[in-house]
Amino acid sequence: MLIKTTNLDIGYASKKRQNSIAQNINIEITSPKLICLIGENGIGKSTLLRTLSKVQPKLKGEIIINNKNLNHYTAATLSQKIGLVLTEKVPPSNLTVYELIALGRQTYTNWVGTLTDLDKQKIEVAINLCNMIDFKHQKIDELSDGQYQKMMLARVLAQDTPIILLDEPTAHLDINNKIEIFKLLKNLVENENKLIIISTHELQLALHTSNDLWIMTNKEFLCNTVKNHIENGNLDKIVKSKLVKFDKLKKGFVFK
């Protein structure tokens, strides 16, 4: 079992009250696949990813990662199971692309951070997979948005975890870079046996590349294959505009 949740509630808690964003989320994932998490802004997509990775505490329920309760993981042991890329950018620095990607090996290096031959091999593999060979000696502040996103993917790949969680990895990218990132993620699932879960607003790309969709609305959390979502009419629940609808025959969103 890669990920399982039982009656999971997510949100924010203070000393006085709990602000629950989504309730009774039940997930069960047993094999590598690409899952796209979709829903409108503020619905709780980022909160769910942060909760699954223990960055943010759950409000209620149970989370199982690799057949082990999330509560029983230390930060160090969990970092060998889950790789996470959030939307926040790395602070400005003089780091090169290679040096930042190498930080993905921190959980495996000794206390002085010495890279072994295996660490260096994992870093080079990650750089190659993300097509960053020509940029590895550049400063990170010199990268375009597309190059930056591929660098962050390479860092999480160097971390070498079976599960990767990505929060809107194609935000602010042009269409060519969006397509390239989605193709890369699909390749990682099929050839590297990764379970990848991404939150995204790229509905058409999600429909054409993902194995499963997680749909978050104010009323429910729906997990299913793309085909079943289409057959069940669930895609109409994503877009609230009266100008757009989901066309089953075209398998896409069209203007009314």
Residues 220 and 139 in one domain: no
Q: How does strand 3-13 pair with strand 18-29?
A: antiparallel
Residue 124: in which H helix or E strand, if any?
A: helix 117-129
pLDDT for position 111: 63
87-133 pLDDT, tens per residue?
A: 988 888 899 999 999 999 998 986 667 899 999 999 999 999 999 99
Answer yes or no: is 181 within a domain.
Answer: no
Answer yes or no: is 104 within a domain.
Answer: yes
177-188 pLDDT, tens per residue?
A: 999 999 999 999
Question: What is the rounded CA–CA span in Å between residue 236 and residue 66?
Answer: 33
pLDDT band at 43 (very low <50, low <70, confident <90, very high): very high
Answer yes or no: is 150 within a domain.
Answer: yes
Domain count, the chain: 2
pLDDT for position 112: 64
| Domain boundaries, position 77 | 1-81+164-173+190-256
**Residues 6 or more apart whose Cβ sits within 8 Å of residue 116:** 109
218-245 pLDDT, tens per residue?
A: 889 999 999 999 999 898 888 777 788 8
Question: What is the rounded CA–CA span in Å between residue 158 and residue 59?
Answer: 32
Residues 149 and 169 in one domain: no
Residues 130 and 145 in one domain: yes
Q: What is the mean pLDDT of the chain?
A: 93
Tell me what percent of the residues of the chain surpass a pLDDT of 90.
77
What is the SS3 assignment for 132? coil
pLDDT for position 44: 95
pLDDT band at 31 (very low <50, low <70, confident <90, very high): very high
**Residues 6 or more apart whose Cβ sits within 8 Å of residue 209:** 34, 36, 182, 183, 185, 186
Residues 6 and 61 in one domain: yes
Q: Which residues make beta-bridge pairs with 46?
A: none
**Residues 6 or more apart whose Cβ sits within 8 Å of residue 244:** 253, 254, 255, 256
Question: What is the rounded CA–CA span in Å between residue 212 and residue 228?
Answer: 9
pLDDT for position 28: 97
What is the SS3 assignment for 190? helix
- Please give the residue that has the higher pLDDT: either 206 or 17: 206
Residue 18 predicted with pLDDT over 80: yes
Structure tokens at 207: 């429909």
Answer yes or no: is 183 within a domain.
Answer: no
- Please give the residue that has the higher pLDDT: either 24 or 16: 24
Answer yes or no: is 178 within a domain.
Answer: no
Helix then strand then coil, in percent of the chain rounded to 5, is 35, 25, 35
Residue 24 predicted with pLDDT over 80: yes
pLDDT band at 15 (very low <50, low <70, confident <90, very high): confident
Residues 32 and 156 in one domain: no
Residues 12, 17, 23, 27, CA torsion sign: positive
pLDDT for position 79: 95
Residue 246 predicted with pLDDT over 90: no
155-179 pLDDT, tens per residue?
A: 999 999 999 999 999 988 999 999 9
pLDDT band at 83 (very low <50, low <70, confident <90, very high): very high
Question: What is the rounded CA–CA span in Å between residue 161 and residue 153?
Answer: 12
Residues 105 and 41 in one domain: no
For the chain, the maximum distance between any two Cα atoms, rounded to a whole number of angstroms, is 61
